[in-house]
Amino acid sequence: MGDDATRCRPGAFARAWAKAVSGTSYLPMAQAQLEEMLQRLTERLAQALRAEPFDLRIGQQVGAELVQAHIASAEGLGRTVEVIQLRLVRDLDLVVDDVEDRMARLLATVATGYARALRDRTLDEQESIRRAAMMARAQAERALRDSEARFRHQATHDPLTGLPNRTLFTERLTDAITAPGRGADRVGVCFLDLDRFKVVNDSLGHQVGDSLLVTVAQRLHRALGEHLVARLGGDEFVILVERTAGTDDAVKVAEAALAAVREPALVDGHELTVSASIGIVERPVAGTSPMDLMRAADSTLHWAKAAGGARWSLFDADRNRRELARYALSAAIPAALDRGEFYLDYQPLTSLRDGRVLGMEALVRWRHPELGVLRPDSFIPLAEETGLIVRLGSWVLAEACREAGTWPGPDGDAPFVSVNLAVRQLHRTDLVTEVRGVLGRTGLPPHRLQLEITESTMMSTVVEPVRALRVLGDLGVRVAIDDFGTGYCNLAYLRDLPVDELKVAGEFVTGLRAPGSGTDERILASLVSLAHALDLTVTAEGVETADQADRLRAIGCDAGQGWHFGRPGPAAPHLGRVPAHVDAAP
Ligand code: C2E
Ligand code: CA
């Protein structure tokens, strides 16, 4: 075999080979690249044919390389074998001994290399497919787990503060109550609410409010780390105190929470000092439910608020029962009105000058079918809270005016009727219309109606209600400040208000001692003269003795009201009566 053998037209053979295999499988290379590669393989084939002794590795390598180059189909192999067999020797002008024998062996080695490479590749592919499938599954499972965890986290946490939310809290509380064992036979809940948070929100904006909530949440979490702290919404937080040994354990947690909240906080450049109120319930888990516990904690929180805030209160079953009864009572007001269970007692406001009955205060009573006659203190405060006072108050106003219209007196000079007005009534936009309507229907002259507004109501009253009072004042309706002296009203403030009369609180009268000796007496004296300077008449409330009446008259008080002059009762006996002891006084 000559040295120049390979110099003969390997290019032509490679081109023929390329043509034969192209189209037998997808080739990721250009035609030129393919030819170049096949040309290299052609030279290797020529080398194999000539090698002495015959080297079967070369043919196998060529087969393997074909597979690597993606000429990897049965057809591709068939055409390759064919083209080698038919053209290799001829195209390259090869001179080889035993050419047929060598050619047969060469083709066999190429086919073997090819088959092995193909098998390896298939195994590799299968393996990598298997591995990829495994990885994909693992990845999918991880993603699912992650998103489940994320979803669960979102569903159980508050987005603003990151604290557990009501759902998670309820789950944990339910577990604490119902999961047996773990030595947990008592549990505590501290229900916390920030005091006056609305003021922060309203005056500094919701953003500052939100930042404050986040700060509070972080502090509670830090201070009470081991206990579950959750945000229920708004400015309400709740702390679960598990496995308590007694109330002390829950109280300690509440105190730590109050201390954590109390620290001044720098929020968006504002230094804020907030306080919180906490309702604490701590009890055996047996016989309670999450709902019971939360309801009790909520009521207890309101006790802490009502006591002024910045404190904790401990649940008290007796007090709770009393309050529930009070609520039930106030809820029954509308039906009782429909059934006509309310009536009015009257108490005279008596002139200290001549003993004449100047007016009569209407005091509402409830003839309760089961509880007997109820005094207003047992249902009015709650009716004011719940708003039911508005309907009840309307009834009182109408009934008082109706009755007063029947009182005898010379030329409309019968006593006026004095009606207590709750703050809610004063804030109604249709107060003027209502009063006008009642006066119109009953024919009562406006100057025979007096409206009593407590000092604290007056002080908390904004522009609109004052305007309404002014309109009523212009109509001729009298306005009195009730319980004067118990609040913070000052006379200078009253000067600008449409007021006719001060009703001085009974406390002042109780304090009256020997003539000229008591501080109360001097205070009262100057109050009376100031009131007179402002053109206001003064009625003293709670006058129980003749001695008090004498002293009040000496001070210059215009009128008195109290047991000494007459107890609350039906109007008739008070009318036209001139008590002898007043008459007799100098
Ligand atoms: P108030 O306006 O201060 O009414 C006077 C209260 O003092 C009455 O209690 C009266 O019975 C009591 N009282 C009268 N004289 C004496 C006395 O000499 N000594 C003592 N210690 N007490 C005396 P009452 O009738 O229980 O009314 C309590 C409160 O309920 C009233 O206080 C008033 O604020 C409110 N109220 C009564 N009726 C109505 C109403 O129709 N509407 C509204 N909004 N409140 C009402
Ligand atoms: Ca009154």
For residue 466, how many other CB atoms are within 10 A of its CB? 15
**d(CA 343, ligand 2 centre) in Å:** 16
For residue 583, what pLDDT band results from cuts at 50, 70 and 90?
very low
Which residue, by CA, sits nearest to atom 10 of ligand 1?
Answer: 568
The reply to whether 45 falls in a domain is yes
Statement to judge: residues 445 and 372 lie in one domain: yes
The reply to whether 143 falls in a domain is no
Give mean pLDDT, residues 562-569: 96
d(CA 112, CA 121): 14
pLDDT tens string 109-146:
999 999 899 888 888 888 888 998 899 889 989 988 98
Average pLDDT over all residues of the chain: 89
- Pairing between strand 416-420 and 357-368? parallel
Residue 514's pLDDT is: 57
For residue 1, what pLDDT band results from cuts at 50, 70 and 90?
very low
**d(CA 397, ligand 1 centre) in Å:** 15
d(CA 429, CA 565): 37
d(CA 543, CA 227): 57
Statement to judge: residues 571 and 458 lie in one domain: yes
**d(CA 448, ligand 1 centre) in Å:** 20
Residue 243 tokens read as 């496995």
The reply to whether 63 falls in a domain is yes
Where residue 273 sits, what CATH number does that domain have?
3.30.70.270
Residue 522's pLDDT is: 82
Statement to judge: residues 349 and 200 lie in one domain: no
pTM beyond cutoff 0.85: no
Statement to judge: residues 229 and 264 lie in one domain: yes
Which of residues 128, 151, 181 is at a domain's end?
A: 128
pLDDT above 80: residue 273: yes
Statement to judge: residues 406 and 522 lie in one domain: yes
The C-alpha angle with vertex 276 and arms to 275 and 282, in degrees rounded to 5, equals 150
Residue 576's pLDDT is: 64
b/e 123-137 (16+ beta carbons within 10 angstroms → b): eeeeeeeeeeeeeee
Of residues 381 and 193, more confidence is placed in: 193
User: Among 153, 15, 2, 20, which Cα is nearest to 80's?
Assistant: 20
Which residue, by CA, sits nearest to atom 33 of ligand 1?
Answer: 420
Statement to judge: residues 276 and 342 lie in one domain: no
**d(CA 375, ligand 1 centre) in Å:** 9
Give mean pLDDT, residues 74-87: 89
Which of residues 286, 315, 344 is at a domain's end?
A: 315
Which residue, by CA, sits nearest to atom 46 of ligand 1?
Answer: 420
Q: What is the DSSP letter of 572?
A: G
Statement to judge: residues 356 and 399 lie in one domain: yes
The reply to whether 320 falls in a domain is no
With both helix axes pointing from N to C terminus, report the angle between 99-156 and 31-50 in degrees, rounded to the nearest 10: 140
Statement to judge: residues 293 and 335 lie in one domain: no
d(CA 376, CA 329): 12
The reply to whether 147 falls in a domain is no
pLDDT above 90: residue 24: no
Q: Tell me the ligand closest to 346's alpha carbon.
A: 1
Q: Tell me the ligand closest to 561's alpha carbon.
A: 1
Which of 337, 377, 399, 420 to probe ligand 1 with, by most ligand atoms within 8 A of CB?
420
For residue 88, what are the CA distances in angstroms to 3, 65, 108? 16, 18, 15
The reply to whether 363 falls in a domain is yes
Give mean pLDDT, residues 300-328: 93
Domain coverage including residue 246: 166-315
Which of residues 262, 290, 315 is at a domain's end?
A: 315
Statement to judge: residues 352 and 459 lie in one domain: yes
Where residue 444 sits, what CATH number does that domain have?
3.20.20.450
b/e 265-276 (16+ beta carbons within 10 angstroms → b): bebeeeebebeb
Of residues 2 and 458, more confidence is placed in: 458
Which residue, by CA, sits nearest to atom 11 of ligand 1?
Answer: 568
pLDDT above 50: residue 436: yes
User: Sheet of 312-314: strands edge to edge?
Assistant: 228-233, 236-242, 186-194, 276-284, 312-314
* Total domains, the chain: 3
DSSP H stretches of helix in 359-422: 380-386, 389-404
Statement to judge: residues 409 and 479 lie in one domain: yes
For residue 299, what are the CA distances in angstroms to 171, 231, 240, 314, 487? 21, 18, 17, 10, 28
DSSP H stretches of helix in 405-496: 423-426, 431-442, 455-459, 463-475, 491-495
Statement to judge: residues 112 and 225 lie in one domain: no
Statement to judge: residues 296 and 357 lie in one domain: no
The reply to whether 228 falls in a domain is yes
Give mean pLDDT, residues 552-562: 95
**d(CA 378, ligand 1 centre) in Å:** 12
Ligand 1: residues within 6 Å at CB?
Answer: 347, 363-364, 375-377, 380, 389, 393, 396, 420, 422, 482-483, 506, 542-544, 562-563, 568
Q: Which residues 6+ apart lie within 8 Å of 518 measured at CB?
A: 511, 512
